[in-house]
Every structure is written in structure tokens, then in C-alpha cells.
């Protein structure tokens, strides 16, 4: 009977800490881009390595011609908590974008161009997805200077090796 009570206890091991993150940004709206920038910035503040991989409409965050014009997605956005038709009204997206930008500014969150520069200066590597760049007919000249290079998904996985991949 005492043998049953004296079973060996499992040794609890400490969870492995994250040392690196690779964040994928695929949406081109304010609410699609900011989470990735915030995650990468937070990682660097914690001393972690961080990479940002921009694909599909997420490329808008690093395109010279679009990164200052990012808007809130109002149509079909369940986070807006309103009927879809309301988001389709002329001027509604601009109004929602202005309100969101004001709220972010009051929370000391920088605009996207400034945030891109901030994370790059902190050591975050920025990559554009080669398949999407090719599909949209873009070149390296279309991107802000903070973009390190255009890479394939396979190259992204190599760079992310040993880290946590976060899809925002």
C-alpha cells in the first residue's frame, strides 16, 4: 500500500522562453498593420530578435505610395460592431480612420511611417514577400528604405528558424 503512495513525482520543467519572433502582416488596414508593428516593437523592447514579413495587402505598410494613406476597414469588419451597409456610406471610412488615428495619437502610438522607422531603427528586419511583389508587379524601389529585402516564403522560414511565427 505504501508503494502506491510513493510514486515518483514528475519533474516540472520551466517553459522555454521565446528568443525570436517573426510576424506576418497580410492586411493593409490600420487594424491589420498596427498589431504586427506593436508585436515587433514589444519584442525588441524585451530584447528579442524580431522580423516582419509583409505579404498581400500588408505590403501597403511599406509601400512608398501607400504607407501614409492606410485606412480603417469599415465594410465587413465585425470589430466595428455595426451593420455592413453603414461602413459603405461615403466618407465613413475616412471618419473612422480620423477617429482611430486621433485615439492612437492620444495613446502615444506613432503613425505607420514613423512606426516603421522606429522598429527598423530598433533592429527589426523588414521583408517583402517575393510572390506578392511579383504578383503586384512591384520592385524594391516601390518600398520604403527600411525594407531589408524581398524574400520568398522559404527564405522567411529560414530566417524565422528557432523563433515563434505570429500571423496578425
Condensed to tens digits (0 to 9), the pLDDT of residues 31-76 reads 899 999 999 999 999 999 999 999 999 999 999 999 999 988 777 6
> Contact at 8 Å (CB) between 24 and 36?
yes
pLDDT at 10: 57
Q: Would the pLDDT of 17 be above 70?
A: yes
Dihedral angle sign, alpha carbons of residues 77, 74, 72, 150: positive
Q: Could you tell me whether strands 49-54 and 20-25 are parallel, antiparallel, or unpaired per DSSP bridges?
A: parallel
Q: How open is the CA angle 165-138-141, to the nearest 5 degrees?
A: 95
Could you identify the residue written with the cell 514589444?
42
Say what the pLDDT of residue 136 is: 97
pLDDT of residue 95: 77
**Average pLDDT score over the chain:** 88
Residues 110-124 pLDDT 10s: 999 999 999 999 999
Amino acid at each position: 500500500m505504501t508503494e502506491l503512495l510513493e510514486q515518483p513525482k514528475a519533474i516540472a520543467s520551466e517553459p522555454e522562453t521565446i528568443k525570436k519572433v517573426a510576424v506576418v502582416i497580410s492586411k493593409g488596414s490600420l487594424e491589420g498593420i498596427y498589431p504586427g508593428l506593436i508585436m515587433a516593437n514589444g519584442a525588441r523592447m524585451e530584447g528579442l530578435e524580431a522580423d516582419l514579413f509583409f505579404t498581400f495587402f500588408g505590403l501597403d505598410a511599406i509601400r512608398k505610395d501607400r504607407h501614409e494613406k492606410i485606412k480603417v476597414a469599415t465594410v465587413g469588419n465585425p470589430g466595428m460592431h455595426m451593420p455592413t451597409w453603414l461602413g459603405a456610406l461615403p466618407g465613413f471610412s475616412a471618419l473612422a480612420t480620423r477617429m482611430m488615428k486621433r485615439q492612437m495619437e492620444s495613446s502615444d502610438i506613432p503613425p505607420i511611417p514613423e512606426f516603421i522607422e522606429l522598429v527598423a531603427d530598433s533592429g527589426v528586419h523588414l521583408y517583402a514577400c517575393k510572390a506578392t511583389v511579383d504578383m503586384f508587379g512591384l520592385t524594391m524601389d516601390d518600398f520604403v528604405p527600411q525594407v531589408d529585402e524581398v524574400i520568398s516564403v522559404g527564405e522567411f522560414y529560414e530566417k524565422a528558424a528557432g523563433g515563434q511565427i505570429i500571423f496578425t
